[in-house]
Amino acid sequence: MKKSTWIILVAAAVLAAATYVVMHLPGERSLADHAGKTFVEFDPSLVETFEIVRPASRVVLAKVNGDWVLQEPVRYPADTAAVASTIRNIRLIELNDLISANPAKQGIFRLDSTGTHIRLVLRGGASVSFRAGKQSATYGQTYVRKDGANEVYAATGVQSVMFERNPNEWRDKAVVRTSPDAITDVVFHYGDTSFAVTRVDTVYMIGRDTTNQRTARTLLAALASLTADDFVDTALSPPLKPLAIITVHAMDGTASLSIYQEKGADKYAVREEGKGQTFVVNGWRLKYILLRKKALLSPLS
């Protein structure tokens, strides 16, 4: 056998022996019997508060009358579906191996104060709290540790990115919340020019003129599903004159949108007057909304 082959075999044996010794030192072990066990036991439907604390941020969400509301750092309706989905995913976290029980090693896995701390408060006052650290070398597992425990586990079904959203990503991004069929008319104001798209039976009209029906339906669908890309929580500076004011009348409510174009960017500030909130909306979302009368009477391009 070649000398180089012997060297490789000896090195492999030494590495295996070192791994065995390290993993069997006090606080360093790997136990396969943890595989498949649920990390935290709770009923997702009973969760009333969801807290995520990271070194530079704190997010607090609370359930109010069945809907999730962002409480910190700003109070605003949350994306209820996204919050509920994340909580369900927490319940599905499964353990693989016990990686370490040595408190001195927690920083290596980012499960000390540098990690993400998650706390769920359930109806009745019970709580579930743990830390989610960095991903394993294979990126298929994430290190987790319960509060008050030293055991560090490798777990599946969880990724730190689940909890690393900035606060605005937890907010409800809907600018208008209705359905196309509920919209009865849309009033446009462009400076001194005004017109309205009105539903008459099953036909959409502008005054006595019949619109291109496909264009009108595309407009209503775009309005009903309009979502924000970001939020503006301060007054627009300097004060801007709106490019357009669009008022949506629907059977389930009215939304008045003042639309401002950001100079030199394909982005718009959209203020929904009823909510008193200004949104940042990318231009492509408004392509079939910022329409002139001529476009609504012409075929859709």
Query: What does the pLDDT look like over 130-144, one tens digit per residue?
Result: 999 988 877 688 999
Same domain, 166 and 31: yes
Q: What is the identity of the amino acid at 9?
A: L
pTM: 0.78
Torsion, Cα of 71, 268, 281, 298 (10° steps): 140
Q: Show which of 141, 170, 199 is a domain's final residue.
A: 170
- Rounded mean pLDDT, 113-120: 93
pLDDT for 4 equals 54
- 227 and 184 within one domain: yes
My answer on whether 91 and 223 are in the same domain is: no
- Residue 266's domain comprises 180-296
Amino acid at position 137, single letter:
A
Domain finish residue from 149, 170, 191? 170
Q: Which residues of 11-45 are buried (b: 16+ CB within 10 A; e: fewer)?
A: eeeeeeeeeeeeeeeeeebeeeebeeeebeebebe
36 and 133 both lie in a single domain:
yes
Q: Position 247: which residue type?
A: T
The rounded distance, in Å, linking the Cα atoms of 78 and 70 is: 5
What pLDDT, on a 0 to 100 scale, did the predictor assign at position 227?
Answer: 96
First to last CA, the chain: 74
Inside any domain, residue 223 = yes
Assigned domain for 76 exists: yes
Q: Do residues 144 and 244 share a domain?
A: no
Domain boundary among 120, 136, 170: 170
- The DSSP call for residue 260 is E
Contact 194, 246 (CB under 8 A): no
Q: Please check whether residues 151 and 72 belong to one and the same domain.
A: yes
Q: Are residues 61 and 147 in the same domain?
A: yes
In this structure, are 58 and 124 located in the same domain?
Answer: yes
Q: Which of 127-131, 134-138, 251-255 has the lowest mean pLDDT?
A: 134-138
Q: Which of 97-101, 247-251, 264-268 has the highest mean pLDDT?
A: 247-251
Task: Please tell me the total count of domains within the chain.
Answer: 2
Q: Which two tokens stand for residue 192?
A: 């001194």
Q: Find the CATH number of the domain harbouring 126.
A: 2.60.40
- The tens digit of pLDDT for each residue in 32-74 reads 555 568 899 999 999 999 999 998 899 999 999 999 999 999 9
Average pLDDT, the chain: 86
The C-alpha atoms of residue 82 and residue 102 are separated, in whole angstroms, by: 35
Confidence of residue 219 (pLDDT cuts 50, 70, 90): very high
Query: How confident is the model at residue 86, as a pLDDT?
Result: 94
Same domain flag for 163 and 217: no
Residue 20 covered by a domain: no
